Amino acid sequence: MVAVFLSASSCEDYLERTPDSIISEETAFQNFNNFQGFTEELYHAVPNFTLAYWVSAWNFGEDEIESTAGTFTVSYNFDRGNFWAWQAEQGGGVGWFDKGNASTTGGHHQKALWPLAWRGIRKANLGLENLHRLTDATDEERRLIEGQLLFFRGWFHFQLIQYFGGLPYIDYVLPSDEQLRLPRLSYRESANRVAEDLRRAADLLPLNWDNTVAGRNTIGKNTMRINKAMALGYLGKNLLWAASPLMNYTETGSRTYDAAYSKRAADVFGELLQLIETGQTIYSLMPFAQKSNLFYTTGQNWAMPGGTEAMFRAPTTGANGSNYQISKQFMPLLISQGDATMFMPTANYVHANYGMANGLPLPDDITKADPESGYDPNYPWKGRDPRFYSDITYDGVQVIQGSIPDQSQEANRYANLFTGGSYRNLSNGSRTGYMSRKFVPLRANLYDNAYDWGTSLHINVPYMRVADIYLMYAEAAATGYNSPNAPSATFSKTAIDAVNVIRDRAGMAQVHSKFTGSVEDFLPELRRERAVELAFERHRFTDLRRWMLLIEEPYTVKTSVELDRVGDFNTDDPTENRVANIREVEILRRPFTEKHYWLPLKVSDVSLYPELSQNPGW
């Protein structure tokens, strides 16, 4: 009855149940309604990383950095090579990886991946072992229950192995009176077991619960229930991760993609995209003009963000939760009155990935003009990828829209992100010369008050969305079929076509011909596209790791952009503002070595028995 890797004290806490809380197996599993009630807890074991603490620390790549006040965050420790900090007992209780008080019934601050994944796996196994008790049910109802349980068992295992490597695959309820001796599997062995569960789940589950007899009882409220499309999405992702260089390296010693796993992933993603593009799922790409609704809603009575594009999201408990405080983490304290900790894009990430509207990247040296792309260092904000303007606040953008009672603060209406500007306080403002606007409206400031309760601002970043499926398909198809110009066996679009779907949606040029000749030419551009489209959505850290780039330059460096304003200041169109002396300055260099490709397991867990070994270097 005990989850395999919980410490002794947490095991005792978990087993301390009152007699009233114990429900007989006959009652819990006798019919669909009762069994579904049992299954519902699995949804609440999914941590909402967006709202896991009062500050929004969920990006651990070279993409983001916190102000100098944020020395307590997991990201601060990770930047200094301290990957032990994911653990609550090692100071990581402010993140979403681990919590000492983890609970499926508490608020967002009590949700954490490590403890709740093992609890979720145990609960899924308990349900699967009691499926035979579900006698008062239709075949459809039994399929719905089994499909959900299999999905969550596979999903929780996948969430763990992508950070920690291969682990024991728990597919039965562990007895509390037996000594643990389950050895660690290799990454590929673990991924194969995940794939089995997710494939079976996909075959059992419907595309739309509203179209089932059981789902009609909750019609219109089924969008977050596990369905076939979700299972296919994570099945493909699990296979692509198994194909990726880091995972292949741990298995074979080769730092390349495993083509066989990539091809399997491409075919699964192709199966899913065929369903999406033919309108058989509830998912579709949202128009670019509605992109913000993917991540936040305002004035919609706390409506869940995501629209038609978000495929898998963590539930939100409570009307406001942490939204009020989280919304202030992207503005300097000067105009937010929030926590002093601010999170902002790094200049190197912005410059390396957010290119020009014609589809070409910026030059490596941003101080130089680039005739091919059209980049001009005197007007660096002109002609950029449309997503640059929707995601990034740069110098001169009007932030405060309404009145400012104190006229002495009028100068702060615009983002003073030039060197020495008022938004550039190192402790509680932007250290990098950029701010993120992807997850909050610009009006989330002291004067416009878009974060006040009355605005019903609801922020929730999805785990998976449709654009991610297109980009993962492109990666899998190119590396599996050894060409960016070949389709998969299940979908007519090529890898290049899939990327162009995303670029077309954003209103920018398609993949330039200089990147389409070979897989080697295409992959860097695909990775740049992934970095832009999925920026700051928690993907970058794992992407850099699985590509075996995390410990390589330039990915170990974080920089700021320094510049001077010159000439007249254009308040209507900040792209027309001329700057001088633009350059990058290094802020931090991360001391990573080979061991940083995997997080260290807890010492208390690897001490339980010899077969549970620690990750190399830790």
CA nearest 417: which of 574, 567, 554, 573?
574
Q: How many CB atoms lie within 10 A of CB 608?
A: 17
Residue 215: per-residue pLDDT: 96
pLDDT in tens, 266-293: 999 999 999 999 999 999 999 999 999 9
Reported confidence tier of residue 180, pLDDT bands at 50, 70, 90: confident
What is the pLDDT at residue 33? 95
- Given this model, what pLDDT does residue 322 score? 63
* Reduced 3-state DSSP string for 545-592: HHCCCCCCCCCCEEEEEEEEECCCCCCCCHHHCCEEEEEEEEEEECCC
DSSP-assigned letters across all residues of 105-135: SS-GGG--HHHHHHHHHHHHHHHHHTGGG--
Residue scoring higher pLDDT (19 or 609): 609
| 355 close to 363: Cβ distance less than 8 angstroms | no
pLDDT exceeds 70 at position 14: no
Percent of the residues in the chain that have a pLDDT greater than 90, as a whole number:
87
Cis peptide bond upstream of 554, omega within 30: yes
Tokens of 24: 């007989």
**pLDDT, tens only, 188-232:** 999 999 999 999 999 999 999 999 999 999 999 999 999 999 999
pLDDT for position 309 = 98
Residue 18 has pLDDT above 80, yes or no: no
pLDDT band at 93 (very low <50, low <70, confident <90, very high): confident
Q: Which pLDDT does position 321 carry in this prediction?
A: 61
Answer yes or no: are the C-beta atoms of 367 and 582 closer than 8 Å: yes
pLDDT above 50 (res 580): yes
CB 562 within 8 A of CB 583: yes
Q: Distance between CA atoms of 256 and 33, rounded to whole angstroms? A: 48
User: In this predicted structure, which of 50-59, 246-255, 338-347, 412-421 has the lowest mean pLDDT?
Assistant: 50-59
Q: Which residue has the higher pLDDT, 319 or 374?
A: 374
* Domain segments of the chain as ranges: 25-248
Would you say 333 and 325 are in contact if contact means Cβ atoms under 8 Å apart?
A: no
Mean pLDDT, the chain, rounded, equals 93
Give the model's pLDDT for residue 612. Answer: 94
Q: Which pLDDT value is given to residue 177?
A: 87
- Residue 55 pLDDT > 90, yes or no? no
Which of 348, 506, 363, 355 lies closest to 434 in space, CA to CA? 348
pLDDT at 130 over 60: yes
DSSP code of residue 31: B
**Mean pLDDT, rounded, for 428-444:** 96
CATH of domain 25-248: 1.25.40
Predicted local confidence at residue 21, as pLDDT: 42
Vertex 462 angle, CA 461 and 464, to 5°: 145
The pLDDT assigned to 325 comes to 81
Q: What is the mean pLDDT of residues 122-139?
A: 97
Tokens representing 231 are 């299972």
Q: What average pLDDT does the segment 526-540 reach?
A: 98
Query: What DSSP string runs through 482-529?
Result: T-TT-B-SS-S-BHHHHHHHHHHHHT-----GGGSSSHHHHHHHHHHH
Decide if pLDDT at 8 tops 80: no
